[in-house]
């Protein structure tokens, strides 16, 4: 309902009614329809919105009803987009929320969609953090880089620590360094100071601690090279 002020008096006006004159299925878009109104306006909505509001040709809707169905449809739209996104790749809660906002959705609607997907276990930051940490570790990244990347994804400190521990359970950092030495620095023997400095700098950039690097170099001579 619209309210205007005229000569210091409040005048209440009735909502303007819009009649639906045609409903068309949108080609190549699943469950999407286009509503055409008698005032030349049109609106794309999901099939669920049509069912929810009982929309059909020749019925009239008010401005407030129009706002309600648009709000409801946006909520459906963001959920649909969120499902498409998580079906293609893994997301943390934070990165999915940011991606949905980038697509033009309001922060509140994006947050609701993320929360619902968390409830359905389509998004799980604990699982995501461990899988992503393992992936980075396999790529030869050390603890500091893994920690920074997980924090960038919005993972909580507790989950970051759990993910780092899960990586260490599979392979200690110094053992990982030794493994990389075998392939990246095949001629490494720990005696050439220049080679040792170059290798140390390489592992520091990868996010390994100086303690783990030193331990790996000390133990390298005891490792049988293949």
Contact 173, 137 (CB under 8 A): no
Give 61's Cβ-side CA count (13 Å radius): 22
Q: In terms of DSSP bridges, do strands 2-6 and 18-25 run parallel, antiparallel, or are they unpaired? A: unpaired
For 2-119, give the CATH class: mainly alpha
Q: Which of 83, 152, 89, 148 is nearest to 118 (CA)?
A: 83
pLDDT digits (tens, 9 = 90+) for 15-62: 578 888 888 888 877 777 888 888 888 888 877 788 778 888 888 888
25 bridge partner residues: 33
Q: What pLDDT is recorded for position 15?
A: 59
This prediction's pTM: 0.65
Q: Which of 178, 183, 167, 85 is nearest to 134 (CA)?
A: 167
Give me the mean pLDDT over the 126-151 stretch.
94
């Amino acid at each position: 309902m619209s309210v205007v002020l005229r000569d210091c008096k409040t005048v209440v006006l009735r909502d303007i009614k819009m009649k639906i004159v045609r409903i068309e299925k949108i080609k190549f878009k699943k469950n999407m329809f286009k509503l055409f109104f008698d005032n030349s306006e049109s609106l794309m909505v999901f099939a669920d919105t049509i069912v929810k509001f009982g929309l059909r040709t020749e019925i009239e809707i008010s401005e407030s009803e129009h706002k309600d169905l648009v709000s409801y449809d946006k909520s459906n739209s963001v959920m649909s987009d969120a499902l498409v996104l998580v079906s293609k790749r893994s997301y943390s809660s934070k990165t999915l929320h940011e991606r949905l906002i980038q697509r033009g959705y309001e922060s509140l609607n994006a947050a609701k969609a993320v929360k619902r997907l968390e409830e359905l276990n389509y998004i799980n930051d604990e699982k995501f953090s461990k899988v992503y940490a393992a992936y980075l570790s396999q790529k030869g990244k050390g603890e500091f880089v893994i920690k920074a990347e997980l924090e960038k994804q919005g993972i909580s400190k507790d989950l970051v620590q759990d993910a780092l521990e899960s990586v260490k359970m599979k392979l200690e950092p110094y053992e990982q360094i030794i493994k990389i030495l075998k392939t990246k620095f095949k001629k490494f023997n720990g005696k050439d100071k220049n080679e040792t400095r170059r290798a140390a700098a390489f592992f520091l950039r990868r996010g390994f601690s100086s303690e783990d690097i030193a331990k790996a170099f000390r133990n390298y001579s005891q490792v049988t090279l293949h």
